[in-house]
């Protein structure tokens, strides 16, 4: 056998150019695992929860299979199930029963925070609170307007700071401003520190684009604008420099974590933002991205679980330190380690 193998060798090895077979390390699962460049755990997935004030508004969310609008009571059962599946990070979205021009009342979501906090210790679960005005305002915008219809930035920052203080006092672990108004991270940091919440971190939506991919979310959060759009304060999808500058501004104003949104269409930004700011940068796999995978699966064009896991690996490959996804509770079923 040895003689036959040697006979197959060319007479002059130095005349051969080596054949580069990239498939050599793709041949088996152990070889692919050996050279895998991304890996993550269920601890790096964040599960959104929508909490409604009116029990009549509790229902499944169109386009987001496995997700529903929850009452404070049903949120407890959902929390128990999610903790069992290994979810440790939650992003809460309040859905008030009534909208107002100003003077918002977040009592119901604060009561929910306290309820969830009594069920799970800070070591068991982290509760981030999306901090924005769009679900509270009568016009569905993320800012307040003056009598001329122009943005009232000082009043907007005051309202956001008030919500952040209420959330933190109720037991929220972190604040996640999503409004994209100028100066909001600095305003929240100053307010939190002054009230003794200096250890409450801020996870800023630092590069949030005006996107067509938020449809299912706006239905879930009852947050669609009643007039116009949000292009005056969200980033134009063509404006890469603006996204980088917005993220740098949030870092300079005291953000602890940054985030890009939508995640899949911001893959070119995650690592550059992390490199520029020195902060961990996450990605929000938004409702339209998640719903697209569900639609592909429903029509028989993809395996949903495999496609979801593929998308998470792509986000991690792009540099995402954490991923906000409506499928975080599926992490264990998809084979991700606990931590």
Q: From the candidates 69, 184, 197, 261, give the one annotated as an active-site residue.
A: 261
Residue at token pair 């300079």 = 252
**261 carries an active-site annotation:** yes
Q: Which of 181, 153, 154, 177 is nearest to 165 (CA)?
A: 177
Determine how β-strand 69-70 pairs with β-strand 174-177.
Answer: unpaired
Q: Which residues lie closer than 8 Å to 11 by C-beta, 6 or more apart?
A: none
Enumerate the H helices of the chain as residue ranges: 2-7, 29-34, 72-84, 107-119, 153-170, 184-194, 215-221, 240-252, 270-277, 287-298, 304-317
Distance CA(196)–CA(217), nearest Å, equals 33
Q: Which of 93, 106, 94, 260 is nearest to 170 (CA)?
A: 106
For 92, phi then psi, to 5°, come to: -95, 135
**99 carries an active-site annotation:** no
Distance CA(238)–CA(161), nearest Å, equals 30
Both tokens of 26, joined, read 């793709």
Residue at token pair 């009571």 = 73
Catalytic residues: 208, 261
């Amino acid at each position: 056998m040895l003689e036959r193998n040697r006979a197959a060798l060319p007479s002059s090895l130095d005349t051969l150019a080596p054949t580069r077979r990239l498939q050599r390390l793709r041949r088996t699962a152990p070889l692919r695992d050996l050279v895998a460049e991304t890996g993550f755990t269920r601890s790096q997935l964040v599960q959104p929860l929508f909490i409604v004030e009116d029990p009549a508004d509790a229902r499944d969310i169109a386009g987001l299979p496995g997700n529903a609008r929850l009452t404070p009571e049903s949120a407890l059962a959902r929390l128990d199930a999610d903790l069992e599946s290994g979810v440790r990070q939650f992003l809460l979205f309040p859905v008030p029963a009534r909208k107002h021009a100003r003077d918002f009342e977040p009592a119901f979501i604060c009561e929910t925070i306290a309820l969830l906090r009594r069920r799970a210790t800070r070591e068991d679960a982290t509760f981030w609170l999306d901090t924005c005005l769009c679900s509270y305002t009568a016009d569905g915008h993320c800012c307040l307007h003056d009598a001329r219809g122009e943005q009232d930035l000082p009043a907007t920052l005051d309202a956001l700071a008030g919500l952040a203080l209420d959330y933190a006092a109720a037991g929220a672990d972190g604040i996640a401003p999503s409004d994209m108004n100028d100066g909001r991270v600095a305003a929240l940091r100053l307010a939190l520190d002054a009230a003794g919440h200096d250890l409450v971190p801020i996870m800023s939506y630092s590069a949030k684009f005006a996107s067509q991919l938020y449809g299912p979310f706006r239905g879930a959060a009852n947050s669609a604008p009643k007039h116009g759009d949000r292009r005056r304060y969200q980033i134009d999808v063509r404006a890469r420099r603006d996204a980088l500058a917005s993220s740098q501004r949030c870092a300079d104003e005291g953000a602890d974590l940054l985030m890009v949104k939508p995640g899949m269409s911001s893959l070119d930004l995650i690592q550059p933002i992390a490199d520029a700011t020195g902060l961990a940068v996450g990605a929000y796999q938004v409702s339209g991205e998640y719903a697209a995978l569900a639609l592909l699966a429903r029509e028989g064009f993809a395996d949903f679980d495999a496609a979801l896991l593929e998308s998470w690996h792509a986000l991690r490959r792009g540099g995402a330190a954490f991923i906000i996804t409506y499928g975080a509770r599926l992490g264990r079923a998809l084979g991700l380690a606990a931590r």
